[in-house]
């Protein structure tokens, strides 16, 4: 390649010998069939090497960004490279909505689904939980469509790019709605954990933030749908957090200019569910991230364990976010088979001390069956990761069925699917 291709954070330098940018489906099919090994490249927001390869990369950025809404079936079919911000604006204009969005609307639909990305809310599944159907270019260049109810479907939405190149995703949609989000400042960790279920269930989506400098959740983001009852949590005597009088960034010292509107001001669903505005760059990418999904039943002891290592974590931490995700049946989803609480760490961009902190966090969370996010950093062994997914062997069988020649394999999938040996 003529110049280095980096991920968003700059901690991964892609090693591909070529980057293909087909403009038609036929071009894409020929590109895949003609490559010995190839990986799909999305918006490069992953912190792990999930998309990296020493062979070929293929980007769909030059293909038509098709979005087709079916109001009768309550679905939308979207080209794999389309970003959530683009999809949300078009859906809302037609009177429809997605159930949830991730913190960043800048990420592609196919890439976010393939890595199990999520938003928050005790009733809300991961983003791939809304997938009804996918179209994939297979290893031989043929196109295959697989839908909900087909054999093996639960293994396909969160695929780590190992099954094929996703060209279209069909998602469930619902009537558009409005949301108001209010940020409350400084809730003691003890009060939050003593009343954790009530707190995280008080609204459509709730997010907790802390830098662990003190035993305080510095921010509680309460995101409520306007067609549902107002959250009553603010009237509880233990809820001593005070509403912010201005919009704030999760890292309180940062400018909130890129953040979505707060202060309880209602707005369209897609202008509130994400933390950041699509027209703004949320940060410079000068950070590293890791995240762990813990069964909801273990969430409080897991968070208390993290609180116990706060002094060691704080010096290399920018912010920690706690969210909830409803259970689903997708084999490699962080919420497979269980309601989940996710503990997310945004670290400083200094890999050596951050890796040390990650090892400490993972040791701390080991008793709680914490699943690391596929697209973020982890020090957990592949054997340990595999043990956390009851259907992992079924997924490996699905990979052999879909890609018997290992065309979509890369070092990441070699580690997790093939014990470190190339497929």
Contact 136, 164 (CB under 8 A): yes
Share of the chain above pLDDT 70, in %: 97
Q: What does the pLDDT look like over 325-383, one tens digit per residue?
A: 999 999 999 999 999 999 999 999 999 999 999 999 999 999 999 999 999 999 999 99
Name residue, tokens 């010995």. 36
Within a 10 A sphere around the Cβ of 243, how many other Cβ atoms?
Answer: 14
Please give the mean pLDDT across all residues of the chain: 95
Task: Please check the confidence at residue 304 and state whether its pLDDT lies above 60.
Answer: yes
Neighbours of 133 (CB within 10 A): 19
pLDDT band at 112 (very low <50, low <70, confident <90, very high): very high
Q: Which residues contact 29 (CB under 8 A, 6 or more apart)?
A: 137, 141, 142, 143
b vs e for 343-378, b when ≥16 Cβ sit within 10 Å of the residue's Cβ?
A: bbbbbeeeeeebbebbeebbebbeebbbbbbbbbbb
Q: What six digits make up the tokens of 351?
A: 């890999």
CA 128 to chain centre: 9
Q: Which residue, chain included where needed, has tokens 């009852």?
A: 229
Taking a C-beta distance cutoff of 8 angstroms, is the pair 234, 199 a contact? no
The answer on pLDDT for 99 being more than 50 is yes
Under 8 Å CB-to-CB from 180, ≥6 apart: which residues?
Answer: 223, 224, 226, 264, 265, 266, 267, 272
Average pLDDT over residues 193-215: 97
Question: Tens digits of per-residue pLDDT, 263-293?
Answer: 999 999 999 999 999 888 766 568 999 999 9
* 130: CB partners within 8 A, 6+ apart: 98, 99, 100, 171, 172
pLDDT computed for residue 2 by the predictor? 43
| The predicted structure's pLDDT at residue 206 | 98
User: How many beta carbons lie within 10 A of that of residue 304, not counting itself?
Assistant: 12
Task: Give the closest residue to 130 by CA, choosing from 117, 144, 143, 145.
Answer: 117
| pTM given for the model | 0.96
Phi-psi sector, 298: left (phi>0), alpha (psi -120 to 50), beta: alpha
Q: Return the beta strands (E) in 21-82 as ranges.
A: 38-41, 56-59, 67-70, 75-79
**423 pLDDT higher than 70:** no
Phi, then psi, of 405 in degrees rounded to 5: -95, 0
Distance from C-alpha of 173 to C-alpha of 417, rounded to nearest angstrom: 33
């Amino acid at each position: 390649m003529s110049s280095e291709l980096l991920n968003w954070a700059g901690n991964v330098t892609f090693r591909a010998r070529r980057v293909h940018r087909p403009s038609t489906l036929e071009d894409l099919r020929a590109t895949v069939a003609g490559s010995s090994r190839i990986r799909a490249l999305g918006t490069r927001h992953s912190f792990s090497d999930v998309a990296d390869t020493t062979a070929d990369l293929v980007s769909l950025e030059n293909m038509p960004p098709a979005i087709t809404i079916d109001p009768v079936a309550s679905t939308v079919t979207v080209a794999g490279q389309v970003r959530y911000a683009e999809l949300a604006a078009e859906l809302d204009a037609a009177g429809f909505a997605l159930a949830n969005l991730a913190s960043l609307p800048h990420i592609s639909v196919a890439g976010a689904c393939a890595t199990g990305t999520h938003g928050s809310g005790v009733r809300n599944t991961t983003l791939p939980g809304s997938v009804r159907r996918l179209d994939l270019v297979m290893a031989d260049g043929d196109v295959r469509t697989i839908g909900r109810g087909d054999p093996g479907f639960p293994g396909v939405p969160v695929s780590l790019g190992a099954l094929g190149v996703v060209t279209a995703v069909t998602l469930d949609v619902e009537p558009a709605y409005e949301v108001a989000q209010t940020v409350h400042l400084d809730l003691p960790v003890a009060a939050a954990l003593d009343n954790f279920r009530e707190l995280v269930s008080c609204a459509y989506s709730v997010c907790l933030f802390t830098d662990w400098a003190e035993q305080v959740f510095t921010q509680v983001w309460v995101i409520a749908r306007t067609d549902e009852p107002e959250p009553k949590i603010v009237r509880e005597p233990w809820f001593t957090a005070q509403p912010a009088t201005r919009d704030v960034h999760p890292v309180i010292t940062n400018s909130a200019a890129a953040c979505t509107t707060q202060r309880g001001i209602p707005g369209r669903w897609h202008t509130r569910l994400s933390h950041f505005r699509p027209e703004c760059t949320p940060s410079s990418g000068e950070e590293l991230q890791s995240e762990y999904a813990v069964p909801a039943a273990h969430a409080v002891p897991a968070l208390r364990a993290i609180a116990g290592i706060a002094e060691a974590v704080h010096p290399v931490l920018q912010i920690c976010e706690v969210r909830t995700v409803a259970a689903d049946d997708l084999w490699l989803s962080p919420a497979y088979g269980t309601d989940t609480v996710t503990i997310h760490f945004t670290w400083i961009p200094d890999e050596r001390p951050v890796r040390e902190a990650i090892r400490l966090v993972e040791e701390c969370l080991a008793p709680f069956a914490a699943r690391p996010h596929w697209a973020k950093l982890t020090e957990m062994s592949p054997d340990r990761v595999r043990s956390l997914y009851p259907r992992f062997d079924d997924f490996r069988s699905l990979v052999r069925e879909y890609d018997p020649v290992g065309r979509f394999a890369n070092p990441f999938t070699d580690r997790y699917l093939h014990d470190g040996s190339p497929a």
